[in-house]
Every structure is written in C-alpha cells, then in structure tokens.
Amino acid sequence: MPHASAYAAPVWLTCTELQPQPDAVVYDWLFNEDSLTRRLTRQSVNHFSVTPLSEGWQTLRDDECAALGVAPGSEGWVREVYLLGHQQPWVFARSVAARQALQDSDLDMEQLGTRSLGELLFSNPAFDRGELQVCRYPEQWLPTEYRIKDLWGRRSCFTRGTLGVLVAEVFLPQFWHELARSPAPST
C-alpha cells in the first residue's frame, strides 16, 4: 500500500486496486456504500453527533482539484468535522466543493452547523455517488491531536449537474477500539 510522504499526495485506490486487502471488518467499513452517518448512528446506538472543526473558502489540495475536475490551485469551500459516537471522535471528515460550482448551485454548506453533510447528500436523490477510493491518509492532513501514521481514509465524490462534493472520511483509533469491543448492532 503506497504511503504519502510529507511532499506527495496519497495514492487513492479503488477496491479492485487495493493490494493487499485489509481484514474483512476494515474492508467492509472502507468500501460499504451505505451512508456512513447512518452506520455510525446504528453502531453508536443513536449516540451520534457532528462537531464542526473549521469551514470556509480555501485553496483546494491538488488531489482534491483533480478529483473535482478543476484547475490546480482552485478555491473551494472546505468543511472539516469530527463524526462522534458516544461523544468520542470516531471519524475525521473533510468535504470540499469548488467555489464556482458551489455558488452556481442551491447547496448551502455554510448553514450545516452540526448536521451531517453525508446525510444531506444521501437523502437527496439528485446526487450520484462516485466510486469509493481509499488510502493511508497523510498524518499532516489530520487535526493536530490525531496526527497518526497509517490511518485508513476513504473518499467519494457526490455529483449533481456541475456540482461535485468530495467527501473524505478518516477512521480514527477510537472507532476501531469501539468496534472491537462492541458487536455491531442489528440493522
């Protein structure tokens, strides 16, 4: 599995490209196409919440520009949050959309607050979800308190017309610890 250096973006891989594959439980959480918000809500027995970390207009990273099909150095809306189970950060999520496409749409990411963007995207049938890709997320891209090597991250792009919203989700150590000690609830 390729790893990102401090100077290079990670190599994002699809399920068919990922070799060797992680164990079945990790693989299921990385490549399950259901709403992660809904799965985390079930896993936490409805003790799920979202804590916004930052949001605003920023220059997008090169890998994000490429995934959104915009020029390198483009500006976009960036939203970073923790997805929590039982008030513990389980997932770090970073969602981005290119400025022009977002401003031309009716999606107002500024008004999300503590609501889950993923749930909004999944509940709107006009959005199509692209293929899931995974990598070992670069530690320097994580919030300071979770700068840990080799955390699994996944991403996919939700599109509606010319708007693309790229959602990356990084599974934090507390999530895997909780998953190991608690069986998955029935669906």
Residues 71, 59: Cα–Cα separation, whole Å: 11
Q: Is 121 annotated as a binding residue?
A: no
Residue (of 68, 65, 77, 67) closest to 12 by Cα position: 67
Q: Is 136 annotated as a binding residue?
A: no
Q: Is 169 annotated as a binding residue?
A: yes
Cross-strand partners of 151: 137
Structure tokens given for 100: 């022009």
Residues 115, 50: Cα–Cα separation, whole Å: 6
Residues 24, 35: Cα–Cα separation, whole Å: 19
Q: Annotated binding site: which residue ranges?
A: 79, 117, 169
Q: Annotated binding site for substrate: which residue ranges?
A: 79, 117, 169
